[in-house]
Amino acid sequence: MATNTSQPILVVEHINVRFETPDDGPVIAVDDVSLDVAPGEFLSVIGPSGCGKSTLFNVMGGLLGGYEGRVSVAGETISGPHASIGMVFQEESTFPWRSVTDNVAFPLELIGMPKDKRIERARHFIKLVGLDGFENRYPGELSGGMRQRVSLARTLASEPKILLMDEPFAALDEQTRLLLGDKVLQIQQDLKQTTLLITHNITEAVQMSDRILVMTYRPGKVKRIVNIDLPRPRTSEIVGSEAFGRYVAQIWADLREEASRGMKDDETRTMRVDEARS
Amino acid sequence: MAETVRVKKAAVAAPAIGPVTLLRIAIVVTLLAGWELLAASGWLYRDVVPSLVAIGSAVADLLMHGEYYFNLGVTAGEIGVALLIGGTAGVLVGLALGANRFLSKAFESYLYYLGPTPKIIFFPIMIMWFGVGPGSKVAMGAVSCFFPIVLSVAAGMRQIDKVLIRVGNSFRANTWQMVQKIYLPAMRHPIINGIRLGLGVGLIGTLLAETKLSNKGIGFLIIQAYSLFDMPRMYAMLIVLFVLAIGVNALVGRLGGLDSIKRA
């Protein structure tokens, strides 16, 4: 396990994030969350909706300021987006006016790489995500899963030290999700890519991770960190194994409590709104 | 026998020329026939409704003389410069309003009030500032086309998918890269639409100003023909202008259309 043998590359220390909401007043979105990721490690952060995991994603990616705590990459404290961190978003984020190649070459264009060189690099990463043959297509001509792969290739093309993904497959159907998971696993193993995945999907998390950090429902705290000792290289076939099932059951036991708290909270809020109306 | 052949032919030809096209042709033919009847009837004073032959020869006459092209060039130049000034200002101000909530709250309601106001009321001021020549026409055209462009650009900027901006930020794009590689391409549809609307009202503003007070341009020629009561010539100029306006609009529409095909 890479976790304990080497110096962590990403260190997140005592992050606190508070929001002012019009309905509930101040809400603590992230409460004293600390984590670290070792080079080459695959860490997943899992939690029910409303646990502040997307907020944590934005803090680590440098897109959200005004938090307490410290995020550092290879010892350097970050303030704002950092070249070592590549983000893949949950939403549809390809540029519809750019071809697949030009989408993937986007980060290279920003750093002023010459055209022929960046197209060559872009093609390499397009091939890596299995989209060769679609280089000149536009996102509008591709399926949702293919577009997410374009986004992934675009972020990989910037060669980040840490790949940070926020539920990248949330909008896809289960089969596509599993197959894309295979793709990500394979790429992660080939590139020894350090990866931090934010997700609410237990299967996805167990399938891919070395460690899983389970978060509590509001305020989002670290509930538990689970080591996943499943053999690598892995594929989606592991989903059928007994050990896999045990991990899923264990994490579900943790998550279930949090998710039902979230559900109750939603119900009370809805009832309160109904009362206010009547 | 001959009857059946004709019927068959008509049935075969029908899909090629649909009922809509037939109706359109019928409308034009009816209008032209009605016009010609009115011209021949002698009910109206002299040349108020000149015959189609007279208008046709006036069109030919118009297109054979250099004077018309010179004035057409003046008007086209005025509209071009007006669109350049009003359009650039519109895009820049629109970007600023779209980017800044405070500015948009402070100023945009004024723009909404001024937008539908007929700009011709500013014409006397423009004449005092820029003279009787093309300057005041350019000013009128620029003021006219500024409004639809600025409102369309500001609205377009607010409709940009926020995640695309987060993508740009996460890759650490600088301000210029954000504008050039994300904001402008993401807004190309509202921008093209705004320019299309702007071109339309810019054309109206410029021509209206020319017909009010000028010494050059198509509007000037039209009013000159009117005051000399040369009705065939006046109608000829209206027809040519009509065709040109349709052509320009189709051209701008094509620019926007090509883009959306690529986007698929």
Torsion angles phi and psi, residue B193, rounded to 5: -60, -45
A144, A159, A174 - which closes a domain = A159
Structural domain boundaries in chain B: 73-229
Q: Closest Cα partner for B71 from B236, B227, B214?
A: B214
A159, A177, A208 - which closes a domain = A159
Chain A environment of B264 (Cβ under 8 Å) = 138, 140-141
Confidence at A113, pLDDT banded by 50, 70, 90: very high
Question: In A, residues 42-81, which contact B (CB 8 Å cutoff)?
Answer: 61-63, 80-81
Neighbouring C-beta atoms of residue B230, cutoff 10 Å? 16
| Residues sharing a CB contact under 8 Å with residue A41, sequence separation 6 or more, in sequence order | A2, A3, A194, A195, A210, A211
Question: In A, residues 83-122, which contact B (CB 8 Å cutoff)?
Answer: 83, 85-87, 89, 91-93, 95-98, 106-107, 109-110
Please determine, for residue A272, whether its predicted confidence score (pLDDT) is greater than 50: yes
CB pairs below 8 Å between A and B: how many?
56
Residues A169 and A248 in one domain: yes
Summarised one tens digit per residue, pLDDT across range B53-94 is 888 888 898 888 888 899 999 999 999 999 999 999 999 999
Summarised one tens digit per residue, pLDDT across range B127-186 is 899 988 889 999 999 999 999 999 999 999 888 999 999 999 999 999 899 989 999 899
| Domain carrying residue A151 | 91-159
For every residue of A135-165, DSSP letters joined together read TT--GGGS-HHHHHHHHHHHHHHT--SEEEE
Residues A121 and A250 in one domain: no
Chain A environment of B186 (Cβ under 8 Å) = 95, 97
Spatial separation of the C-alpha atoms in residues A266 and A258, rounded to whole Å: 12
Handedness of CA B27, B33, B36, B37 (dihedral sign): negative
Nearest-CA distance from B173 to chain A in Å?
6
Chain A environment of B173 (Cβ under 8 Å) = 110
User: Bigger pLDDT: B131 or A102?
Assistant: A102
Residues A155 and A165 in one domain: no
Please determine, for residue B262, whether its predicted confidence score (pLDDT) is greater than 50: no
Half-sphere exposure of A102 (CA within 13 A, CB side): 11
The answer to whether the CB of A121 falls within 8 A of the CB of A105 is: yes
Q: Which helix (H) or strand (E) holds A103?
A: helix A100-104
Q: What is the CATH number of the domain that holds A173?
A: 3.40.50.300
The answer to whether the CB of A35 falls within 8 A of the CB of A54 is: no
What's the burial of A97, exposed, middle or buried (CB within 10 Å: 0-12/13-18/19+)? buried
Spatial separation of the C-alpha atoms in residues B28 and B36, rounded to whole Å: 12
Average pLDDT for chain B: 84
Q: Give pLDDT, residue B15.
A: 56
Half-sphere exposure of B60 (CA within 13 A, CB side): 6
User: Bigger pLDDT: A77 or A274?
Assistant: A77
Residue where the block lists tokens 């500001």: B154
The length of chain A in residues reads: 278
| Residues sharing a CB contact under 8 Å with residue A184, sequence separation 6 or more, in sequence order | A152, A195, A208
Indicate the residue of B164, B169, B264 with minimum beta-carbon distance to A138. Answer: B264
Task: Give residue ranges of B with CB < 8 Å to any A CB.
Answer: 161, 163-164, 166-167, 169-173, 177, 181-182, 185-186, 188, 262-264
Residues A203 and A229 in one domain: yes
Q: Give pLDDT, residue B257.
A: 56
A137, A159, A181 - which closes a domain = A159
Q: Give pLDDT, residue A139.
A: 94
Nearest-CA distance from A97 to chain B in Å?
6
Q: What CATH number should be reported for the domain whose range is B73-229?
A: 1.10.3720.10
Across residues B38-62, what is the average pLDDT? 82
Residues A247 and A113 in one domain: no
Residues A79 and A25 in one domain: yes
Nearest-CA distance from B169 to chain A in Å?
7
Nearest-CA distance from A137 to chain B in Å?
9
Please determine, for residue A133, whether its predicted confidence score (pLDDT) is greater than 90: yes
The two tokens of residue B143 are 């003021």
Spatial separation of the C-alpha atoms in residues A187 and B239, rounded to whole Å: 66
Residues A42 and A128 in one domain: no
Counted domains in chain A: 2
The two tokens of residue B91 are 């895009």
Residues A65 and A109 in one domain: no
Spatial separation of the C-alpha atoms in residues A159 and A155, rounded to whole Å: 7
Nearest-CA distance from A154 to chain B in Å?
10
The two tokens of residue A125 are 């990463």
Question: Which of A55-69, A166-180, A256-270, B107-121 has the largest mean confidence?
Answer: A55-69
Please determine, for residue A174, whether its predicted confidence score (pLDDT) is greater than 90: no
